[in-house]
Chain A
Amino acid sequence: MKLPLSWLKEYVDVDISPGEVTECEPIEGTHLHVCKVDCGESGELQICCGADNVRKGIKAPVALIGATVYATAQDHVTVEGVMTIKKGKLRGVDSFGMLCSGAELGVNGDMYEGADYNGLLLLPASCKNGEDVKPILGLNDYIFDIALTANRPDCNSILGMAREVAAVLGKPLKEPAYTYSAKSGGKRVEVEVLAPDLCPRYIAHYVKDIAIAPSPQWLKRRLALCGLRSINNVVDITNYVLLEMGQPMHAFDFAKLENGKITVRRAYDKESIITLDGKTFELGGENLVICDGNKPCALAGIMGGENSEIKDDTRELLFEAAKFARDSVRKTSRALGQHSDSSATFERGVNEYTTERAMARALHLIEELGCGTVTNIHIDIKTPNSHDGAKKMTADMRKINGLLGIEIPIDKAVDILKRLNFGVTAAGDVLSLDVPPYREDIDGYADIAEELIREYGYDHVTGTFLNSARVTNGGYTPAQAAENAVKDKLVSLGMYEISTYSFYSEKDLDMLHFPANAAERRFIKIRNPIGEDLSVMRTTLMPSMLNVIVRNLKRGNTEGKLFEIANVYIPTDSPDGMPEERKMLCVGFFGNGNFLDIKGAIEDWAESLNEKFDFAAGSKPFLHPGITAIISCEGEEIGYVGKIDPKISEELSMEKKAFVAEIDYEKALSHAKPFKYKPLSRFPEVARDLALVADESITCARIESEIYAACKYVSDVKLFDIYAGSQIGENKKSMAYTVTFSPKDEALTPEKIDGFVKKILGNLKHNLNVELR
């Protein structure tokens, strides 16, 4: 369903329009009135109203049925969302709309005089019943929400954006007025900057005969549209200049400045300040403060101090327009947790060209608003770190076009740069440029290339395919290709690959019962984590795997095979402090199956690397003491595999068993060998089955290695049955193997095989007390 609003409006008027109350009668026993309201085109409507200022003859905004207004809380001021007006019944009286307050329309007193009143917003008698109320209230406006890139702090103001728009439209920029007439000051004002590295420029100007008053409506309205509350004329001027010019300003009550002096310095250790919002901060040498002859009066660039605040009785003031180092403001603001529009602006960066003009603009506004006498006391400290931003440079169009890959005609380039306020003269392909003083980002021809292409249009950039680049041989390194093969193998074995966060909590290590001295507890900590949960760089993937298994079981996923290949992070003593990033493979099977399933999968993987892993009983704090194996390869320990200890399963409310393994991936792969073809024997292999009886304590691995050791023709030993029971005897087990003999240079006759078997059985009996069943 598509609904053009313009079309819909032909049938029903959903707007809010002025209505005149033509009748107004109280509803007995309530604070309500029932009114007849002339709504122009929409006719005369009966509306019930609870406002205390409703009476016959007034005009107020009427929200007709279907209109959406702000829903206000009990106080009729706090907005709690929006509501749509419906036909209603109050105390049995029908109501066909709502007479509105300012808050319900989202208008406050700064935007429209009288709109703050907790009752109906009264409209002038001159407005026409039924017409659109938005132009009357100044709501027919658009507010652009612009995200600026970090390189363009000069655009962070109305004027800055106007400059860009003027450049795009090719229209002249109309600068605001900066003029004022300076009268004699008759005061001694002193400014010193003791921290020129943090305050390259400081301008102060003394203004007297201050008359604090509310600001004019136009000023209040503009502040309100930008989300600022009007305070008084002087404070509003500083905020207005910040919005308009992008230069934070501050006004000190001059009478409160001891010795008529400003000192810009680093705070002394343990020095403190109470800012305008009443918060107290303890400071140190990292923090830049603006002091009077004695004490801090402002946190430089962030907020003024309570002690020199502009109050209704302020009669003289000192304006400040300065440039503070952005890193200094940022650090102090972060460290103290004190942020303001001013600090945000300084953190982006201000330019001194604007600093100078902002002061002039503020002084002009003092005169324009008639809130004081501008004096001739103007102190401008340009420290050695000061620079006004203007610079000269040359840019070669051949280089610019070479970077872009297109030809921008030189006259077009000159035109674009002129629009952007560059001074330009072209000599051949070379442009001599005067960079606008507020463009501190411009640094080389690449910046000019960007200015040109964004104005000339990215649609001129047409794709080419590395016309001049040399051919290179791409692809994976052998290690990366090997990792792909590992993943392919694990997936073919039925495992799902997971990816989990590289950090977890120390509690995750507790979960696995790691003792206090475990190597896993020697970890790297994140200094500023999102939370304790994500604060420890992992030293083992196992907690992450177990958490995934537990999550799956909680969600009713009853089985799964998982793996993850990811780094763990091990602190080192290396001189550069770089920790070791070690790649690990973690495997987890949960739900069905047994230990031999996960072990088998690991063996299959080993085979794909042309390796053989050895498994020996071992222990881990989180694994079943009887179902834990340490994995090694060619004598090097590479990992472990086992069943999650039932006591941990219970602690984690796991309703199914889980088998897990963690293997040092790099170590495991270091044993991988390239495959080589083994010549086929001309003679057939011979297999014999041997059913053996062994003590229960004799492991399968020991019997196997004994068989291998007894005869060099044994090429494979495979257990196919294991049995324990009364027929075998107490503490005994029967183990049935298929032993394969591979001939070498001649056929293996049955007599020879009999001889081998005899030897094998002899060795088994002698070394392990294992006998043929």
Chain B
Amino acid sequence: MQDKIEQLKSKLAQAFADIHSSESLFQTKMKYLGKTGEISELMKGMRDIPKEERPEAGKIINALRAWAEEKFADLDRTLKEIELNKQYKKEAVDVTLPGNRQPSGAYHPNTLVRRELISIFSGMGFTVFEGPEIETDYYNFTALNTPKDHPARDMQDTFYITDDLLLRTQTSAGQIRVMEKCKPPIKILSPGKVYRSDDDATHSPMFSQMEGLVVDKGITLCDLKGMLDEFARKIFGEGVKTRLRPSYFPFTEPSVEVDVSCFECGGKGCRLCKGTGWIEVLGAGMVNRHVLEGCGVDPEEYSGFAFGMGIERIAMLKYGINNMKLLFEGDVRFLKQFKG
């Protein structure tokens, strides 16, 4: 019996050494530990040995079984680990390969600036109004205190469609449409395309403006300044200041040009601000009382301010775009830079 066990043990040791896969492990395990396996057969052979030797033999066989089972379990763990490592190796990825991306498109720079402006001003209570691009002479000029013989008409080269219809030269035209319909308090933003007969590196026959209008009781030039300070800080950065200079627009009185301190050099003077420390960004003023009257708003009771800026100009300043034409060419190398 003892010999048999020893024999089996060395056979098993040999068998273990020959196991190199889960498959052979399973088969070997069955061969020895299965129902008809050799160890099981040994157990069955107990009947043939004398009764008094049986407990001892049983002990020995059970020890052998336990030893074999543990050995198989060890082997199983080892094999699994080897196989897992093989799988790891096989599945390994060069993590420096480029990722699979869902390329998103991009917004036109004007859209980005327009959204930023609207978000700044809507927080201050402005609603957005869009008027028609083809306007009447009345809304574009006459109602804005610019009658037919007014020299200010020469300030803007206008595209005409008929004697009375034209491509609006300024989004201010929208002001009148709003004031005719709504009673104060009015706070509107009027963004949109405008057209002037100009075509060079800094002028385009089509461009976009954003007009702002506030009409209520007791509105002052200081309120205009305060609002523009806020705007300048939000769009160009903390610390940017505004400066007012006298100017002239027929529909505002007093009228001002508004400069912001150069956000590139902090006002020390650089190429962007042409060494002056200031950058002209918009025109503004207190709404002319003729304009208010013309819209049925009593200038004795109400006052207001208006401001207007070129969206392309802001975009060019903000993103450092050097030629306005780029904005209208649709070159994808340009467009893809504005992921927003």
Contact = CB atoms under 8 A, between A and B. Distances in A.
B227 A466 contact: yes
Interface stretch (B8-16, B30-38, B131-139): B131-139
Interface string A387-414: 0000000000000001111100000000
Interface string B220-246: 111101111110000000000001111
Interface string A462-490: 11111111111111110010001001001
A527 B104 contact: no
A217 B322 CA distance: 47
Contact of B161 (A152, A464, A526): A526
Contacts of A403: 220-221, 254, 286, 303
A552 interface: yes
User: Considering residues B254, B330, B335, which has the most beta carbons from chain A within 10 angstroms of its beta carbon?
Assistant: B330
Contact of A526 (B130, B148, B159, B214): B159
A498 B149 contact: no
Interface in A314-353: 325-327, 330, 347-349
B73 interface: no
Interface in B170-197: 185-187, 193, 195, 197
A561 B151 CA distance: 46
B111 A487 contact: yes
A349 B128 CA distance: 38
A501 B205 contact: yes
Contact of A464 (B127, B223, B248): B223
Interface string B190-228: 000101010100000110000000101111111101111
B63 to A, nearest CB: 54
A3 interface: no
B204 to A, nearest CB: 8
A79 B126 CA distance: 56
B110 to A, nearest CB: 6
A530 B218 contact: no
Given A403-B221, A471-B125, A499-B108, A465 B253 contact: no
Interface stretch (B82-90, B115-123, B270-278): B115-123
A444 interface: yes
Contacts, number: 251
A96 interface: no
B333 interface: yes
B333 A557 contact: yes
A561 B103 CA distance: 11
A157 interface: no
Contact of A555 (B107, B126, B331, B340): B331
Nearest to A447: B253
Interface string A501-530: 111000000000000000000001111111
Contacts of B118: 476
B235 to A, nearest CB: 16
Nearest to B159: A526
Contacts of A555: 331, 333
Interface stretch (A104-112, A576-584, A665-673, A751-759): A576-584
Nearest to A452: B254
B10 to A, nearest CB: 59
A559 to B, nearest CB: 8
A480 B134 contact: no
B106 interface: yes
A578 B132 contact: yes
Contacts of A557: 331-333
Interface residues of B, number: 87
Contact of A492 (B105, B110, B336): B105
A454 interface: yes
B46 interface: no
B3 interface: no
Contacts of B136: 576, 578
A552 B286 CA distance: 46
A57 interface: no
Nearest to A470: B185
Interface string A544-563: 00001001100101011111
B330 A524 contact: no
Max chain B CB contacts within 10 Å: which of A499, A527, A551, A578? A499
Contact of B151 (A153, A466, A559): A153
B254 A500 contact: no
Contacts of A526: 159-161, 167
B219 A453 contact: no
Interface in A700-718: none
A52 interface: no
A501 B219 contact: no
Contact of A530 (B161, B193, B199, B329): B199
B327 interface: yes
Contact of A494 (B103, B115, B128): B103
B256 interface: yes
Interface in B293-340: 303, 327-333, 335-336, 340
Contact of A529 (B122, B159, B340): B159
B248 A474 contact: no
Contacts of A468: 216-219
A327 B134 contact: no
B178 to A, nearest CB: 12
Contacts of B246: 450, 453-454, 458
Nearest to B333: A557
Contact of A497 (B106, B214, B331): B106
B127 A477 contact: yes
23 contacts: A327-B148, A327-B149, A347-B154, A349-B151, A404-B222, A450-B254, A458-B245, A462-B222, A464-B226, A465-B223, A468-B216, A472-B127, A476-B118, A487-B111, A491-B105, A498-B335, A501-B205, A524-B134, A527-B159, A551-B331, A569-B134, A576-B136, A579-B165
Nearest 5 Cβ contacts at the A-B interface: A405-B220, A405-B222, A463-B226, A327-B149, A149-B248
Interface of B: 102-108, 110-111, 115, 118, 121-128, 130, 132-134, 136, 148-152, 154-155, 159-162, 164-165, 167, 185-187, 193, 195, 197, 199, 205-206, 214, 216-223, 225-230, 243-248, 250, 253-256, 286, 288-289, 303, 327-333, 335-336, 340
